[in-house]
Structure formats: structure tokens, C-alpha cells
Structure 1
């Protein structure tokens, strides 16, 4: 294989070969040409900075979306599991003492299932919102199913809890369903 021919390269030769592609001599440029180049430079710098900012915003948005998907991605499944909790709770609530003695092993199994469901909920950031009778109604956490005047209560006080609500981390998955007193203040 023959070695390439070595020759001395002169900067002026390169400039002659480059022709119009070579950078113009700043001394030969007019003030208008210099100002046009500065304007083009400023425009390119502005576009570059905007592209950098857009890329950074996209990265932050993607990171936020990923975190939300991790934290709240299972909300549909969790919402679909809430009736299972409701049915198990109601089944345990309607059992009489006589039935409890006759079906002790069966009811223990239902209680264990309900406890395990609550453990799984807790593991995934789902916590019950269980108001008690006498607490104040909070429209951020509770849904008023009815209002009724009840003696010895204040307006806006919870008088009955029909269904427990649930939070998924810091979001309301389902409000607690409650009855609220409408007794006017004396």
C-alpha cells in the first residue's frame, strides 16, 4: 500500500480552496453585515436557550408523570375493590350473636379476609376515612347522603355513617357517605 503524499499546507491555500465558504475578513465587513451577524447570533442563542428550557421542562414533566403513575396508577383497581370491602363489612355487621356462635369459624374467615384486604390497601397507600357520629361534616372528605333534624345535635354534625371513605395517598378515592344533622342553631 502506498503512503499518501505528504505536502506542506499553507493557511492561505486553504482559504483560497474554501472560497466563499471561508469566514469573511472582519476588517472587510461593513457595519451592517456585522450587525446582521450579531442579530443572527442572538436569534440562534435565543432559540438554543428556549430549546434547552423546553427539554428541561419535558424532563420534569415526564418525571412528575412517572411519579404520579407509580403513586396513583392503581386507583381504578383500588376503586373497583372498595365494594368488596363494603360487602364484607356489611356481612359482619348484620350477624346476630346467635349466628356468630353457630358460624364462628366461617365468620373468623370473613374477618381475616377483611383484615387482609385492609392490609393490602395499607401497603399500597389506601387508608380508610372513617368519620364517627358527632364529628363535623367535611365536604372534602364526606358526601352527605341526607339531612335530618335530630334533637341534641348541631347543624353540620354527622348523625350516621353509611359507608367508609378511602384516601389513596393524598387523594380522595371515595368520600365517606354520611347523614348530616340539619337542626337549626337555638
Structure 2
């Protein structure tokens, strides 16, 4: 016959082992959940870090682009302000040459020519170029401004028939369109 004390003792051992096993399993489950939580937090932090890196890189690129644009196009206002000076020098030179005729150039005419050439050198050094359309060219709305339209025999609609004022570009940006007259003669 079996000893009841021994059986109780064995039952107590089995119960204790089962409880210890259950405690171990609960602890393992807690550690697994904590590990999963830490992994999720790591993944979130890694994602935030990668986004912050991308934002910093984008900000650096944007700042570089803004700096280049400011360097290249920063003189837009002064260039626009100097265009009437160019126009007036150009008109003064044309009027002086017309008044003078075919005779030798006077010192004033030579001075105005030199001033105009120096202004053009400054413009070129800073990326300002002239738009000089010719009579007979096709009207381009990107670089020309139509001041008037008139039917002129021997031309096609959209042909430039008169140039009033030259235009100017600052690198690839339009400072001022060339002001032109355009033919409205319908195609026959």
C-alpha cells in the first residue's frame, strides 16, 4: 500500500513544479511582450530618425537652391532699374547721330557710346542679355510684348513689323519683354 504522506508529498511537488513552470512561462510571456514592445519602439524611432534625416537633407538642398538663386537672381531689381538708363542712352545716341549726320563723331557721341558699351559689359558680367528681335521674325509671346497690331501687306499674321524697345533676360528669366508691333494680315 502506498503511503499517504508520500503521495501528498509527491502531489505537493507536482503542484509546486506546475506552479513554478507556470510562473516561468508567465515570465517568458512577459519578457516576450516586453521584447515585442521594445522592437516596435525601435522600429518607430528608426522610422522617425530616417524621416528626420530626409527632412534635414531636403532642407539642405532647399537652402543650397535658394542660395544659388539669390546669388544668380539677386540683382533682378537693380537690373530692372538700369534698363531705362540703357533705353535713354540708346535714344540719346540715336538722336545725336541723326542730328550729326555723316560727319565725324563728336566727343559727346563718343562718350555716350562708351558709356553704353560699358553698361552692356556690366550687364553681360551679371547675366543680363538683350533680346533684339528683327522685323520679319515671328512673334514669340515668351519674350515679346505686342504693343499694337496692324495689317501690313507682304507679311503674315504674327510677323514682327516694328521693334519699339529691346527686351532683356537675366540668365533664363525674362526681365523685360521686347516691345514690338505685330502684323495682323490674314494668310491668303
Is this contact kept in 1: 2:160–2:182, CA < 8 A?
yes
2:83 counterpart residue number: 82
Decide whether the 8 Å contact of 2:166 with 2:179 is kept in 1: yes
Alignment match of 1:169 (pick from 164, 171, 176): 171
Cα deviation, 1:138-176, whole Å, max 9, x if unaligned, reads: 001101111000010000000000000011111111110
Root-mean-square deviation (Å)? 1.8
In the TM superposition, residue 34 of structure 1 has moved relative to its aligned partner by 1.7
> Paired residue for 1:123, among 103, 122, 125?
125
CA distance in 2 between counterparts of 1:76 and 1:113 reads 21
TM-score, normalised via structure 1 length: 0.82
Are the counterparts in 1 of residues 73 and 170 from structure 2 also a CA contact under 8 Å? yes
Partner of 2:10: none
Question: Contact 2:97–2:109 at 8 Å: present in 1 too?
Answer: no
2:103 paired with 1:99: no
Q: How far off is 1:102 after superposition?
A: 8.2
Deviation digits for residues 55-81 of structure 1 (CA, Å, limit 9, x no counterpart):
000000000011001100001000000
* Secondary structure, aligned partner of 1:94: helix
Normalized per residue, the structure richer in helix is: 2
Q: Give the whole-Å Cα distance in 2 for the aligned partners of 1:96 and 1:73.
A: 36
Does residue 137 of the first structure (1) align with residue 146 of the second (2)? Answer: no
Q: Is the 8 A contact 2:149 2:183 kept in 1?
A: yes
Question: Per the alignment, in what secondary structure is the counterpart of residue 143 of structure 1?
Answer: strand
Structure 2 length-normalised TM: 0.81
What 5-or-longer segments of structure 2 have no aligned partner? 1-26
Question: Which is higher, the Rg of structure 1 or of structure 2?
Answer: 2
Q: Deviations over 1:64-120 (max 9, x none)?
A: 011001100001000000000000111122235553548711111011100110011
SS in 1 for 2:169: strand
